[in-house]
Structure 1
Amino acid sequence: MASALARALDSDLWWSFKRSPGTVASAVVALVCILGAVLAPWIAPHNPFDLATLNLGDAFKPPAWAEDGDALFALGTDDQGRDVLSAIMYGARISLLVGVCSVVFSTLVGVAIGLLAGYLGGTVDSLLMRIADIQLTFPSILIALLVDGVVRAAVPREVHDEIALFVVIFAIGISAWPASARTVRGSTLVERNKEYVLAARIIGVSQLRIMLTHVLPNVIGPVLVIATLNLGFAILAEATLSFLGVGVPPTQPSLGTLIRIGNDFLFSGEWWITIFPGIALICMVLSVNLLGDWLRDALNPRLR
């Protein structure tokens, strides 16, 4: 363990990380956002979804530093008396959960399709890549809206509310796989003609094993960069869907839902209800995107 840590601290990646102040700051912001979301049940000042603790008399309280502010509610309260800071921490959990799960799903689908297309070639390659090309002509949000609309029409409302989280994850994930697929396919086309793959074929190794144990480890690097960049997109896509009212149900509000709720009171003077969740969303997405940009540059030998 100690030797692995020593090698990591002596690596080019760590050297590139620590010499970039912007990357370090982005990592700190991302870490604060993640820890705040994951540890929300233990560190949040209030539980905004415990109806027994809500008091409508606390509604529309401004931030603590403003006139008529209350020190118990650092960032103020919303129309139901919920603490905005606590709601942001709990809402970030949903946003991160949807973002991570949808990226994992899209990456698995993209890697599988790209690996098959690049290794098998021929008709399989042409068919899979044409499907990817067709999907790339549609905006990702439009595909996500279409998937959600089909599910809403196919199942009763009560059932949809129960599976809404999984629907959003599937909708965002299924719209983002072509980028990973095209990247893996290009790398696989290069790797499949190398000597180690030809040697494995000669000794009788099955095609599936060659793809999984020989080719895949050598093409997965660029996919990790794409996955990091897609995480910011997925979080933003979830927030967009929730803002439009087709994301997660109101009983599980994410940052997008909080922004939508606060938007109704923005011009009546209660600006904090939507501004602070918006700032939290910006910080989360921006920090993840900056880390993805750094990782892309750090893993590119041409830029060293």
Structure 2
Amino acid sequence: MSTEYGNIGEDLSFRERIEDRPKPAVMWVSGLLFMILLQFGALMKTVMTTVPWQSIADAIPGTSPWAALAGVGDALAGLPTLLSRDVIPNQGYQIPGEGWEGTFLGLEPGVAWALRVVLIYGYSFALLGWTFYGYELFRRHYRAADWTPYDDMMNRLEGHRWGQFGLIVVFAFVVMAVFAPALGPTTVQYNIAEPYEHEIQYYDENAGEVVTTLVGNANLQSVSKGAGGRNIGPGEYDDFGRFHPFGTLPSGKDLFTFMVAGARVSLFIGLLYITLAAGLATVLALLTAYYKGITDLVVVIAGDSVQALPQLLVLILLSFVLSDTWIAGIYDGGLLLALIFAITGWPYLWRAVRGPALQVSTEEWIDAAKSFGQKPGVTMRKHMLPYVVGYLLIYASLSLGGAIIGVAGLSFLGLGVNPPTPEWGRAVSAGQPYVATASWHISLIPGLMVVLIVTAFNALGDGIRDAIDPQSEEGSTEATAGGTGA
């Protein structure tokens, strides 16, 4: 065996192998806990802001548990973190002839912001590397089998450059969503949602002193409308000493802050949609493959009926009909949009995994399980589900890209997530009148990011497909990005 237990390891349970050699496991778990504790407050803030607990509590009368959970989460989210804007601040003011005041170590706001971004991404990729290292420790010390099919899958993925590109970009997108409050040069609450309830200090050359103004007033004087010198482009400072990595919007709000917050919204909608749709598709695929006959016919008719509906019209209709309900108030329509995508998108995933489920249902071990009287649920879970999961990962990755571009397209048309919640498609729409002006960045940057993320999800899906099935042919699949994008 390749493990350090030799043949004896095959007779030990996983717990016994850890007890017999605890040092590697203790070392890895200790390192993981240490890395999580460094950013625990930021992680809790992500949970509390991505999943709108307080909005749920406000929308559903009499839900005291949700309110209590929101209170506990807010308290945990207030814990200090190492890589936060409080530790590495990037907002301040500069008096002529003197250094910057209020920024980290007196650095320029742009430099302080870039330092925080580099450290956050360095931390995140170190955490990803530590996770892969834990898998290697498991293979070396605690896995009883000398070889599993997952080894070949990992080896093929290691040589799949297109899939690795997708993995890196998707992970960077997830990091952007998770650490959005710390990555932005400012915050959504401060700059976008409530600009007239917060103040900033800046040096007024006419007055010759440091003065205070509302963020909303500063935004009005930092607009990007492409004419008359009214433009704050990528990497520029405004007259109030604020650094804008991607420039500003026509409203004067920071575009980078809008983008990182929009990444969180897109990820929330995409993951919720794919979780619901994939769960329903998997259950139906296993049921139809196991029972066949009338069960398969009923699901086929239901799936064909849903697919026959024009998805865009269904989205528009349901969004309008349910616009005044409590569910539409959660996440400014984001939750409703995810549910509608799941209702209209599950047939695509079901058809993608129905074939593999039918294939495995004809194997001899399934017939053997039935002849021994094994319960259908146990047979589907133990002997059929593992075979289907690999294919589900492929199509789920492709469908996530489709969901993101679908939400962006709807928001571009004014049908998606409502203001003030940021969404990438709305930024593209806001910058459309200024494409041919100095404010080209408003539409171009969000548009390029949508294309990049969707391409990355498709690349990751291709990599997973080729890792699972080395004989797979290059080409399109049934669950392409267009399958879920309205």
TM-score (norm 2): 0.56
Contact 1:117/1:129 (<8 A) preserved = no
Equivalences, count: 300
SS at match of 2:244: coil
* Secondary structure of the structure 2 residue equivalent to 1:199: helix
Say if 2:472 is the partner of 1:288. Answer: no
Correspondence list, 1:147-158, <5 A: 147-152=318-323, 155=324
Candidates 384, 398, 408, aligned match of 1:215: 384
State the distance in 2 between where 1:195 and 1:22 align: 37
1:76 aligns with 247
Q: Does the aligned pair in 1 maintain the 2:412–2:429 contact within 8 Å?
A: yes
Paired letter, 1:124: T
Distance in structure 2 (CA, Å) of the matches to 1:211 and 1:252: 41
Following TM superposition, by how much is the alpha carbon of 1:269 offset from its aligned partner in structure 2, in angstroms? 4.4
Bigger Cα displacement from structure 2, 175-184 vs 14-23? 14-23
Tell me which of 223, 226, 244 is aligned to 1:59.
Answer: 223
Give the distance between the partners of 1:207 and 1:21, measured in 2 at CA: 41
Q: 1:108-123, aligned counterparts within 5 Å?
A: 108-123=279-294
For the residue of structure 2 that corresponds to 1:59, the secondary structure is coil
- CA-to-aligned-CA distance 1:64-96 (integer Å, 9 cap, x gap): 457989771122111222111121111111011
The match for 2:330 is: 162
CA positional deviation for 1:236? 0.8
Q: Which runs of 5+ in 1 are unaligned?
A: none
Query: Which is richer in strand?
Result: 2
Structure 1 distance, partners of 2:437, 2:329, is: 31
C-alpha spacing 1:83/1:129, structure 2 compared with 1 (3 Å) = same
Contact 1:64 1:72 in 2 (8 A): no
2:176 matched residue in structure 1: 36
Write the distance in 2 (CA, Å) between the matches of 1:28 and 1:253.
Answer: 24
Note if 1:124 corresponds to 2:295: yes
Deviation at 1:5, TM superposition (A): 5.7
Alpha-carbon distance, 1:194 to partner? 2.6
Q: Give ranges in structure 2 of 5+ residues lacking alignment.
A: 1-133, 141-146, 199-214, 225-230, 474-486
Kindly state the Cα deviation for residue 264 of structure 1 after the two structures are TM-superposed.
Answer: 4.2
Matched ranges for 1:5-20 at <5 A = 11-20=151-160
Cα 1:122–1:160 shift into 2, 3 Å: same
Question: Relative to 1, partners in 2 of residues 1:246 and 1:269: Cα closer, same or farther, differing over 3 Å?
Answer: same
1:160 & 1:192 partners in 2: Cα distance? 41
Matched AA of 1:24: Q
1:279 to 435, 443, 448: 448
- C-alpha spacing 1:207/1:68, structure 2 compared with 1 (3 Å): closer
Look up the equivalent residue of 1:118 and give its one-letter code: A
Correspondence list, 1:78-97, <5 A: 78-97=249-268
Q: CA RMSD in A?
A: 2.7
Amino acid at match of 1:59: V
The structure with the largest helix share of the pair is 1
Whether the 8 Å CA contact 1:118–1:184 is kept in 2: the answer is no
Give the Cα–Cα distance (whole angstroms) in 1 for the partners of residues 157 and 358 of structure 2: 31
Counterpart-to-counterpart distance in 2, 1:22 and 1:197: 36
Cα distance in 2 for partners of 1:11, 1:37 equals 31
**Given the superposition, is the C-alpha separation of residues 96 and 3 from structure 1 closer, same or farther in structure 2, using an over 3 Å criterion?**
same
Alignment partner for residue 199 of structure 1, among 356, 360, 368? 368
Seen in structure 2, the aligned counterparts of structure 1 residues 14 and 197 have a Cα distance that, compared at 3 Å, is: closer
Contact 2:154/2:467, CA 8 A, preserved across alignment: no
One-letter amino acid matched to 1:37: A
Give the alignment partner of residue 312 of structure 2, picking from 130, 134, 141.
Answer: 141
1:86-109 per-residue CA deviation (whole Å, 9 max, x = no partner) reads 211111110111111111111011
- Could you say which structure has the greater relative contact order, defined with CA pairs below 8 angstroms and 6 or more residues apart? 1
User: Against the structure 1 CA distance between its residues 114 and 150, is the aligned structure 2 distance closer, same or farther, given a 3 Å change threshold?
Assistant: farther
**Worse-matched range after superposition: 99-108 or 127-136:** 127-136
State the alpha-carbon separation in 2 of the partners of residues 64 and 278 from structure 1: 15
Deviation at 1:233, TM superposition (A): 0.4
Query: Are residue 239 (structure 1) and residue 408 (structure 2) matched?
Result: yes
Structure 1 residue 224 corresponds to structure 2 residue 358: no
| Aligned mates of 2:373, 2:249 — CA distance in 1 | 66
SS at match of 1:107: helix
Greater Rg by CA: 2
Please tell me whether the aligned partners of residues 163 and 461 of structure 2 are also in contact (alpha carbons under 8 angstroms). Answer: no
* In structure 1, C-alpha distance between the alignment counterparts of 2:222 and 2:139, rounded to whole Å: 49
Q: What is the alpha-carbon distance in structure 1 between the residues aligned to residue 327 and residue 351 of structure 2?
A: 35
Structure 1 residue 126: deviation in Å?
A: 0.7
| Residue pair 1:114, 1:183 contacting (<8 A) in 2 also | no
Q: Distance in 1 between matches of 2:291 and 2:158?
A: 42
C-alpha change, 1:159 and 1:235, in structure 2 (3 Å) is closer
Matched residue type, 2:308: T
TM-score normalised by L of structure 1: 0.87
Question: Structure 1 residues 267, 250: CA separation in 2 closer, same or farther (over 3 Å shift)?
Answer: farther
**Match of 1:183?**
352
